[in-house]
C-alpha cells in the first residue's frame, strides 16, 4: 500500500483544489456562499417594515350618514369619522361614493370598503336614549381574494377605527351623563335644603294642627247654624216675595190714582184761574163800594150833624116828633152808613186778600199740577220697580232655598272636613318625621357624592384605562423581528444547497485515512459555512441595519448556527446522498413550522409544540432573539450549549461514518489514486 507523500494535510489540500480548480467551480462556490444572504437579506428587506407603509393600502370610505339630533344638539358622527380619517395616515383612506367603492372592490383597486350607513348618527343617539335600540354599525368589506394579509390588516384597522369611534361616542354619552350628574348633585343639595324646609314647615303645620281642628269644629258648628238661619231666611224670602207682590198691586193702583189726580189738578188749576180773575174783580168792586160807602157815611153824618144843629137852632123844630124821627133816622142812617163803610172797607180788604190768596192758589195749583204729573210718572216707575222687585224677590227666595240646601250639604261636608283635618294632622306628623329623615339622608347623600370635575370625569369615562407599553428589546420593525427566523433559514438553506455543488462524501482521491477523509470534508464545508455566515452578518448588520446591542455575539452565534447546520447536513447527505438531502428538506420544513419564527408555536397544533424543542432551529431562533432584543443570558447560554451538543453529536456521527466507509472502500488501496465515485 502506498501511503508515503499523501498524508492528512495532503488529503485536505487535494479536497480544496478539487472544488476550486476551475472557474466554473469557483463561480458555483461563490453562488453557494451568497445563498444565506440572498435568503435572509432579501426576505428581511421585503418584510423590513410593512406596517410603516400602510398608507399605501387604499381603503374606500363611503359616508351616507344623514346626521341626527341628540339632546337638542346636532351630531354628525359620520362626518366626524371622515374628518378624523382624513388626518389619519395609518391607511390610504379614499373618500368615495358607493358606486366607486363597489367598482374598486371588483377590480382590486381597494383592499377594503367601509360604509357609514344613513342612520349611523340616529342609531348612535337612540342607543343612548331608547331601550332596545339597534347598535350603530359600520359596514366593512375586505378583498381577501386579492390579498389575505391585506384583508387582515384592514380588519385590524377596522378594529382600531371601531375603538376610536366608540371612544368618541362614549365621550358624547359621558358629556350628557356627567352633565346630569352635576345637575343631580346640585339637585340633591337643593332637595336636601328643600326637605329641611318641608320638615320645618310640617313641624309648624303640626303645631298649628290643634287650631285647625278647633277651626274645623267651629266651621262644622257654623255650617249647621248657617243651614238653620238660611231655613228661616227661606221662609222670610217667601214672605218678602208675597209682600212685594202685594206692593206691586198697590203700586199699580197708586199709578192709576195719580193719573186721575193729575187730571183733577189740571181742572183745579183751571178753576183757580177763574177764581183768581173773579177775586180780582171782587176786590176792585169792593174798593169802589168802600169808597162809595165812605162817601155815603160822610154824607149821612153831615145830614145828621146838620139836623142836630138845626134842632139846636130850632128848638121848636127839635121838639117836633117828625123832626125828632127825622133826626133819629138821620143819625141811624149816619151810623149805619158808617158801619156799611166800615164793612165795605173790610170787604175790600178781604177781597184784596182773596185776590192774593187766589193768586197763591193759582201758583199752588200749577205746582200741584206739575207735582201730580211727576207723581204719576214716579208711580208708574214705582209700579215697574215693584214688578222687578217682585221678580228679584222670587229669585232671591229660590236662591236662598238653594243656598239652604247647599248649607245643609256644607254642614255635612264640614263634618267630613273635621274628620279629614284629624287625619291631616296625623299625616302632617308623619310628613314632618319623614321630611326630617329625607332631609338627613339627602344631606348625607349630597355630602357623600364626590366632587365632580366635568372634563376630568368625561375623560375618565371615555378613556378609563391608559396603556403604557414597554417594548422590551427595541424590536421596532418587522425586519428586526424576523431576522432570527430568516437568518436561520438562510444559513440552513445555504448549507443544504451547498450539498448540491460540493460533494459531501466522495473524495477527489483515495484518502489516507477515515480521519483525513472526514477532516477534508468538514474543513471545506465548515469553512464555506463560516464564510456564508460572515457575508450574511455583514449585509444584515451594515446593510439592512438589523439592531443588536452585541454585534460580536451576533456574529459568533451565527457562525455557531451555520456550523451546527453544516454538521447535521454533512451527516445526512454523506450518509444517504439524495435521500439525505430529502431528509434535510423535511427537517427544514419541520423546523420552520415549530421554531416560533413567525407565529408563537403555542398557536400551532400540539405536534409542532412537542417537536420544536428537539430541533436545532428552535434554539438558533431563540438565541438570535436574545442577542437582537436582549434578555436572559442564562437562557442564551442554554441555547449555545444545546447547539454545541447538536454539532458535536453530528460531527461524531459523521466521523464514524467516514471511518466505516474508509475501512469498507479504501482499506488496503493505494493512497492518492483517484477515487471511484459512488452515486
Own/partner contacts of 252-257, CB < 8 Å, gap of 24 or more, are 252/383, 252/386, 254/379, 254/382, 254/383, 255/376, 255/379, 255/380, 255/382, 255/383, 257/379
- Only one residue has cell 192709576, namely 256
User: Is 19:25 a contact under the CB 8 Å cutoff?
Assistant: yes
Strands 139-142 and 112-116: antiparallel
Q: With pLDDT > 90 as the criterion, what percentage of the chain qualifies? A: 17
Strands 58-63 and 92-95: parallel
Can you list the domains of the chain with their CATH numbers?
9-49+477-665 (no CATH), 56-185 (3.40.1710), 210-416 (no CATH)
Report d(CA 220, CA 412) in Å as an integer.
8
- Only one residue has cell 476550486, namely 20
Kindly report which listed range (68-72, 153-157, 254-258, 336-340) carries the lowest average pLDDT score: 254-258
Mean pLDDT of 191-198: 73
**Alpha-carbon distance values, 538 to 67, 564, 565, 627 (Å):** 59, 20, 19, 16
**Predicted pLDDT at 355:** 65
**Predicted pLDDT at 525:** 92
Cell numbers linked to 678: 459512488
Mean pLDDT of 486-498: 92
Q: CA torsion angle for 106, 109, 113, 117 (degrees, to 10)?
A: -80
Cell numbers linked to 666: 479504501
- Only one residue has cell 183745579, namely 268
Q: Which residues of 657-677 are buried (b: 16+ CB within 10 A; e: fewer)?
A: bbeebbeeebeebebbeebee
**Predicted pLDDT at 679:** 37
pLDDT band for position 270 (cuts 50, 70, 90): confident
User: Is 111:154 a contact under the CB 8 Å cutoff?
Assistant: yes
**Predicted pLDDT at 676:** 47
Highest mean pLDDT among 204-213, 214-223, 228-237, 651-660: 651-660
Question: What value, to the nearest 5°, has the Cα angle with vertex 631 and ends 560 and 50?
Answer: 85
**Predicted pLDDT at 2:** 39
Mean pLDDT of 201-213: 68
**Alpha-carbon distance values, 393 to 239, 248, 388, 403 (Å):** 9, 12, 8, 15
Higher pLDDT, 287 or 26: 287
Length of the chain: 679
Q: What's the whole-number average pLDDT of the chain?
A: 76
Question: pLDDT tens digit string along 121-151?
Answer: 888 888 777 888 888 888 888 866 555 566 6
Report d(CA 520, CA 508) in Å as an integer.
10
pTM value surpassing 0.85: no
**Predicted pLDDT at 529:** 94
CA 486 to chain centre: 56
Strands 58-63 and 112-116: parallel
268: Cβ–Cβ under 8 A, 6 or more apart, which residues? 365, 368, 369
Q: Which one, of 194, 253, 192, 561, lies nearest residue 382 by Cα? A: 253
**Predicted pLDDT at 647:** 96
Report d(CA 253, CA 363) in Å as an integer.
28
Question: pLDDT tens digit string along 112-127?
Answer: 889 999 988 888 888 7
**Predicted pLDDT at 588:** 93
**Predicted pLDDT at 570:** 95
DSSP result, 365-416: HHHHHHHHHHHHHHHHHHHHHHHHHHHHHHHHHHHHHHHHHHHHHHHHHHHH
Higher pLDDT, 237 or 402: 402
**Predicted pLDDT at 413:** 67
Largest CA distance in the chain: 266
**Alpha-carbon distance values, 363 to 38, 145, 353 (Å):** 157, 136, 15
Highest mean pLDDT among 82-96, 258-272, 357-371, 386-400: 82-96
For residue 58, the surrounding DSSP H or E stretch is strand 58-63
**Alpha-carbon distance values, 130 to 122, 124, 125, 127 (Å):** 11, 10, 8, 6
Strand 92-95: give its sheet, edge to edge: 92-95, 58-63, 112-116, 139-142
**Predicted pLDDT at 677:** 44
Residue 4 has pLDDT above 60, yes or no: no
DSSP result, 103-119: HHHHHTS-SEEEEE-TT
Report d(CA 232, CA 405) in Å as an integer.
12
Mean pLDDT of 281-298: 70
Higher pLDDT, 641 or 340: 641
pLDDT band for position 292 (cuts 50, 70, 90): confident
Q: Which residues of 557-587 are buried (b: 16+ CB within 10 A; e: fewer)?
A: bbbbbbbbbbbbbbbbbbbebeebbebbeeb
**Predicted pLDDT at 140:** 86
**Predicted pLDDT at 428:** 61
Residue 54 has pLDDT above 80, yes or no: no
Higher pLDDT, 72 or 518: 518
Q: Which one, of 366, 362, 380, 364, lies nearest residue 259 by Cα? A: 380
Report d(CA 623, CA 564) in Å as an integer.
13
The neighbour count for residue 645, using CB atoms within 10 Å, is: 13
Cell numbers linked to 660: 466505516
CA atoms within 13 A on the CB side of 198: 20
Question: What value, to the nearest 5°, has the Cα angle with vertex 267 and ends 266 and 268?
Answer: 90
For the chain, the straight-line distance linking the first and the last C-alpha, in angstroms and rounded, comes to: 26
Residue 269 has pLDDT above 50, yes or no: yes
Strands 112-116 and 68-70: unpaired
Amino acid at each position: 500500500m502506498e501511503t508515503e507523500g499523501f498524508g492528512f494535510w495532503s488529503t485536505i489540500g487535494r479536497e480544496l483544489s478539487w472544488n476550486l480548480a476551475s472557474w466554473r467551480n469557483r463561480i458555483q462556490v461563490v453562488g453557494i456562499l451568497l445563498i444565506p444572504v440572498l435568503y435572509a437579506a432579501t426576505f428581511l428587506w421585503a418584510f423590513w417594515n410593512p406596517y410603516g407603509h400602510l398608507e399605501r393600502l387604499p381603503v374606500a370610505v363611503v359616508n351616507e350618514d344623514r346626521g341626527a339630533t341628540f339632546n337638542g344638539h346636532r351630531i354628525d358622527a359620520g362626518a366626524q369619522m371622515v374628518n378624523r380619517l382624513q388626518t389619519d395616515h395609518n391607511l390610504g383612506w379614499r373618500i368615495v361614493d358607493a358606486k366607486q367603492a363597489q367598482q374598486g372592490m371588483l377590480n382590486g383597486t381597494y383592499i377594503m370598503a367601509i360604509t357609514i350607513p344613513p342612520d349611523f348618527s340616529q342609531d348612535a343617539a337612540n342607543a343612548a336614549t331608547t331601550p332596545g335600540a339597534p347598535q350603530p354599525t359600520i359596514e366593512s368589506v375586505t378583498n381577501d381574494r386579492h390579498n389575505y394579509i391585506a384583508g387582515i390588516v384592514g380588519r385590524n384597522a377596522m378594529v382600531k377605527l371601531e375603538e376610536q369611534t366608540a371612544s368618541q361616542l362614549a365621550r358624547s354619552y359621558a358629556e350628557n351623563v356627567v352633565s346630569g350628574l352635576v345637575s343631580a348633585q346640585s339637585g340633591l343639595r337643593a332637595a336636601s335644603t328643600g326637605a329641611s324646609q318641608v320638615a320645618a314647615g310640617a313641624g309648624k303645620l303640626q303645631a298649628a294642627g290643634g287650631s285647625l281642628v278647633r277651626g274645623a269644629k267651629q266651621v262644622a258648628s257654623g255650617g249647621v247654624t248657617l243651614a238653620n238661619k238660611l231655613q228661616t231666611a227661606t221662609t222670610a224670602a217667601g214672605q218678602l216675595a208675597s209682600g212685594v207682590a202685594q206692593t206691586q198691586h198697590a203700586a199699580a193702583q197708586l199709578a192709576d190714582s195719580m193719573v186721575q189726580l193729575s187730571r183733577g189738578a189740571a181742572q183745579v188749576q183751571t178753576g183757580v184761574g177763574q177764581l183768581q180773575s173773579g177775586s180780582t174783580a171782587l176786590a176792585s168792586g169792593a174798593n169802589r163800594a168802600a169808597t162809595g160807602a165812605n162817601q155815603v157815611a160822610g154824607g149821612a153824618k153831615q145830614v145828621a150833624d146838620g139836623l142836630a144843629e138845626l134842632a139846636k137852632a130850632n128848638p121848636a123844630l127839635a121838639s117836633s116828633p117828625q123832626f125828632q124821627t127825622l133826626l133819629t133816622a138821620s143819625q141811624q142812617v149816619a151810623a149805619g152808613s158808617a158801619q156799611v163803610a166800615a164793612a165795605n172797607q173790610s170787604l175790600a180788604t178781604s177781597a184784596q186778600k182773596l185776590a192774593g190768596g187766589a193768586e197763591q192758589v193759582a201758583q199752588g195749583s200749577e205746582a200741584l199740577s206739575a207735582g201730580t204729573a211727576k207723581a204719576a210718572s214716579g208711580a208708574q216707575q214705582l209700579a215697574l220697580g215693584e214688578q222687578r222687585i217682585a221678580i228679584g224677590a222670587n229669585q232671591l227666595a229660590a236662591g236662598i232655598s238653594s243656598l239652604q240646601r247647599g248649607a245643609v250639604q256644607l254642614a255635612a261636608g264640614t263634618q267630613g272636613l273635621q274628620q279629614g283635618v284629624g287625619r291631616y294632622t296625623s299625616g302632617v306628623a308623619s310628613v314632618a318625621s319623614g321630611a326630617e329623615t329625607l332631609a338627613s339622608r339627602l344631606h348625607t347623600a349630597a355630602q357623600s357624592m364626590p366632587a365632580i370635575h366635568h372634563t376630568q370625569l368625561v375623560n375618565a369615562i371615555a378613556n378609563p384605562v391608559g396603556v403604557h407599553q414597554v417594548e422590551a428589546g427595541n424590536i421596532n420593525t418587522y425586519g428586526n423581528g424576523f431576522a432570527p427566523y430568516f437568518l436561520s433559514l438562510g444559513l440552513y438553506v445555504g448549507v443544504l444547497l451547498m450539498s448540491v455543488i460540493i460533494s459531501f462524501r466522495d473524495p477527489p482521491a483515495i484518502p489516507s485515512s477515515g480521519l483525513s477523509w472526514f477532516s477534508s470534508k468538514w474543513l471545506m464545508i465548515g469553512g464555506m459555512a463560516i464564510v456564508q455566515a460572515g457575508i450574511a452578518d455583514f449585509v444584515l448588520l451594515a446593510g439592512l441595519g438589523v439592531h443588536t446591542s452585541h454585534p460580536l455575539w451576533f456574529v459568533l452565534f451565527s457562525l455557531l448556527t451555520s456550523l451546527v447546520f453544516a454538521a447535521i447536513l454533512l451527516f445526512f447527505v454523506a450518509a444517504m446522498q439524495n435521500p439525505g438531502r430529502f431528509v434535510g428538506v423535511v427537517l427544514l420544513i419541520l423546523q420552520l413550522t415549530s421554531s416560533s419564527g413567525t407565529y408563537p408555536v403555542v398557536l400551532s397544533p400540539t405536534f409542532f409544540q412537542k417537536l420544536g424543542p428537539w430541533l436545532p432551529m428552535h434554539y438558533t431562533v431563540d438565541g438570535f432573539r436574545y442577542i437582537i432584543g436582549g434578555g436572559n443570558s442564562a437562557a442564551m447560554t442554554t441555547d449555545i450549549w444545546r447547539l454545541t451538543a447538536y454539532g458535536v453529536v453530528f460531527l461524531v456521527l459523521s466521523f464514524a461514518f467516514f471511518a466505516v466507509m474508509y475501512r469498507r472502500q479504501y482499506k488496503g488501496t493505494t493512497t492518492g489514486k483517484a477515487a471511484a465515485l459512488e452515486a
